[in-house]
Amino acid sequence: MPFLIGIAGPVAVGKSTIARRLGELLSRRPAAPSTGSVTTDGFLQPNLVLERRGILDRKGFPESYDQAALLRFLTAARAGRQVRVPCTRMSTTTWCRAGR
């Protein structure tokens, strides 16, 4: 069963940097585990949805996330199932393979 670590905090405090560094440190261990990082940015509702709901100025707050999708992802990952990871690039409707 996979081990999931959550790193929380406000915008731009270094959560992704900490996660990347932790992965690097874990990879140095003998029989290193496979690691990957998933940011919550990929679970943000598209700007069009946020605009329609009148909460574009709340982007990054809990109500701006697709919480159901995030919960499905965490449930699948915890169960050890292969899951698709939303990209954090241009669109929250584009999907990336885990680890990219």
pLDDT tens-digit series, residues 55-75? 999 988 889 999 998 888 888
Closest CA to 87 of 99, 79, 78, 96: 96
Lowest mean pLDDT among 9-13, 72-76, 87-91: 87-91
Query: Is the separation of the CB atoms in 44 and 92 below 8 Å?
Result: yes
Name the residue type at position 85: V
Task: Provide the token pair at 28.
Answer: 């140095």
pLDDT at 55: 94
Query: Is the separation of the CB atoms in 78 and 4 below 8 Å?
Result: yes
| Residue 89 pLDDT exceeds 60 | no
How many CB atoms are located within 10 Å of the residue 63 CB? 12
Domains of the chain by residue range: 15-79
| Residue 29 pLDDT exceeds 80 | yes
SS3 51: helix
Q: Report, as an integer, the average pLDDT of 34-41.
A: 81
Name the residue type at position 56: L
Task: Provide the token pair at 20.
Answer: 């990347």
Give the pLDDT band of residue 31 (cuts 50, 70, 90).
Answer: confident
